[in-house]
A and B are shown apart, each in its own frame.
Chain A
Amino acid sequence: MNELVRKKLEPLPLVAIALLLLAACALPFFLSNYSTFQLTMVLVYAIALLGLNILTGYNGQISLGHGAFYAIGAYATAVLMDKFGWPYWATLPVAAAVCLLAGFLFGLPALRLEGPYLALATFALAIALPQILKYKHLEEWTGGVQGIVIMKPESPIATLFGQKMNSDRWLYFVTLAVTVLMFVIGWNLLRGRIGRALVAIRDQPVAAASMGIDNAMYKSLAFGVSAMFTGVAGALSAIVVAFVAPDSFTVFLSLSLMVGMVIGGLASIWGALFGALVVQFVPNVADHISKAAPGAIYGAMLILFMYVMPTGIVGAIRLAWGKLRRLRKS
């Protein structure tokens, strides 16, 4: 990962972000319920990918198992809502806390592992979790293979901006709010001391340690925080989809997240958004192109993306921007 362009986090001018948010708020009123749902999932994946990026992009720890934390967050929410009757919004902080702890605890032994070894350990986690969720003796809590069905929350307000509100639209706005919150938290985290420490550990761990950075603590914390973000995403997904089952959280989810992060762009906050679009829509596109061998189309698209943009969409944008600047100068 030393080949990555290391850029300071450049905050786009506030105006651009404001415009984007405005557009985001307006969209659901122009789209069908299903499309709104899809957009909501894009936001959910964006949070998940931001989490994964904190760990892998900024801190250099590979995780092929983040689907597990997504699942833990989802199940935390599902169990609280179904078995204890909690309101959906109250489950989010709990899911966050649970995943923060889970990530931190996993991060501790992971300190000893690097590269392919860490990849295997996280991969093992991704495989283990669905099996544990299906396990007979835990069925009482997890609902076993059938999973848990949740009541989809109704919109508490009838209209917004003079437009009709329904469950999908309401959940979209809730998710949007949480997304903005998480991104602000993430941005703050990454642009300050902590972010610099994480990147230092990624690129030159020996130098970082000799400068007084506690590698072990930062690395475990990175795992915890990363898991927390992804767990919150999972919790939101449970609420939005209104259903959790072990087979929703297979290895494929973990691999999709990782692939989405790479295509979006490592070590980039905007990359999380692009990656989320990829995770949500590319499999659909592949399905459209070929019913007989969608996997082959999906795989081919992955490879093509990597040929054309080896440093992800954000990387490609940066390269293009750089070229434009040089052209203008000369």
Chain B
Amino acid sequence: METFLHQLVAGFATGGIYASVALALVMIYQATHNINFAQGELAMFATYICWSLINAGVPYWVAFFSTIAISFCLGVLIERIIIRPVERAPVLTVVTVFLGLLFILNSMAGWIFTYTIKSFPSPFPKHPPFGWTFISSHELGAVGVTLVVLTLLYCFFRFTPLGLAMRAAAQNPDSSRLVGIRVGWMLALGWGLAAAIGSTAGMMVAPIVFLDPNMMSGILLYAFAAALVGGIDSPGGAVLGGFLVGILENIVGAYLIGTELKLTVALVLIVGVLVVRPAGLFGKVIVTRV
């Protein structure tokens, strides 16, 4: 029973990571109606930046928040410079650009930082919290960070004029212009926020899986699945989806099939959920009047 609890909690902890990246995906999706396949690589690159800062002697939390700020700027820049020329292009054209970005970031990271695996520090104590045995302090801390990020984001979108403007710009750019919203900058903002969120995920997961250029690819896939399971237009759903997927992955891996086919089975189950509920568990089915 203890091992089951441990698996459950470990799944919950990795679920927090998936939830963060899923959040970033949903954000960009809400702003652009496109899945940002380069999200994982952005997070990975940001984590390398943090690693460089820490290696240069910067204290952890200073490096942490600096990385978030740098990631935000990077996201904005990428949107304005690389994505902007294809803003009005067909969906698959934009997807191709995202994929191009993915390859560039992955390859550059390998080139600049080499492919040797590096260790990344955790800000949380090494001993388990409160003497609990089924969760490490870092896992608990990672979950905490995810929840803080989620709450901040939710409040931002729900209660601030800028958040409302971003939602509007995502839905209906033409009408948004007619009320004076600068749609281009809303997109850039969306990218900046997504990059910032992704960077927190990267920095939380790197201590567990170690830092290397391909660190995020599996995570991106789970996050993608989590975002869809939760409903691609629901940030809350993305987070819940993240935790669900994390737990599912661990349970499947531990009890059903072993680590080889773990990814396959998890994905098959997720697709199964989608077939039953095509808009995801919490996705809003937009009522369209014909």
State the A residues within 8 Å of B (CB).
Answer: 1, 3-4, 56, 62, 109, 112-117, 119-121, 123-124, 127-128, 131-132, 134-136, 206, 255, 258-259, 261-263, 266, 292-303, 305-307, 310-311
- Return chain B residues, CB-CB under 8 Å to A119: 35
Asked whether B278 lies within 8 Å of A117 as measured between CB atoms, the reply is: yes
Asked whether B111 lies within 8 Å of A127 as measured between CB atoms, the reply is: no
Closest to A207 in B: B290
Q: Which of A123, A294, A302 contacts B97 (CB 8 A)?
A: A302
State the B residues within 8 Å of A (CB).
Answer: 29, 35, 82, 85-86, 88-97, 99-108, 110-111, 221, 224-225, 228, 232, 260-261, 263-264, 267-268, 270-271, 274-275, 278, 280, 290
Q: Which of B93, B221, B278 contacts A310 (CB 8 A)?
A: B93
Please report the C-alpha to C-alpha distance between residue A132 and residue B95 in the assembled complex, in whole angstroms. 27
CB distance from A54 to the nearest CB of B (A): 15
Asked whether A112 lies within 8 Å of B278 as measured between CB atoms, the reply is: yes
- Return chain B residues, CB-CB under 8 Å to A303: 82, 96-97, 100-101, 104
- Return chain A residues, CB-CB under 8 Å to B267: 124, 127-128
Q: Contacts A296-B108, A300-B100, A303-B101: A135 and B261 contacting too (C-beta < 8 A)?
A: yes
Please report the C-alpha to C-alpha distance between residue A135 and residue B261 in the assembled complex, in whole angstroms. 8
Closest to B271 in A: A121
CB distance from B280 to the nearest CB of A (A): 8
Asked whether A117 lies within 8 Å of B101 as measured between CB atoms, the reply is: no
- Return chain A residues, CB-CB under 8 Å to B232: 116-117
Interface centre among A135, A294, A299, A305 (most CB of B within 10 A): A299
Q: Which of A112, A263, A293, A305 contacts B275 (CB 8 A)?
A: A112
Q: Which of A123, A128, A258 contacts B264 (CB 8 A)?
A: A128
CB distance from B287 to the nearest CB of A (A): 14
Closest to B29 in A: A116
CB distance from A211 to the nearest CB of B (A): 14
Asked whether B268 lies within 8 Å of A296 as measured between CB atoms, the reply is: no
Q: Contacts A117-B228, A292-B111: A306 and B104 contacting too (C-beta < 8 A)?
A: no
A-B contact list, 13 entries, CB within 8 Å:
A3-B89, A62-B91, A62-B92, A117-B228, A117-B274, A120-B270, A124-B268, A136-B260, A262-B95, A293-B108, A298-B107, A299-B105, A306-B94
Please report the C-alpha to C-alpha distance between residue A32 and residue B91 in the assembled complex, in whole angstroms. 40
Closest to A134 in B: B260
Please report the C-alpha to C-alpha distance between residue A120 and residue B226 in the assembled complex, in whole angstroms. 10
CB distance from A115 to the nearest CB of B (A): 8
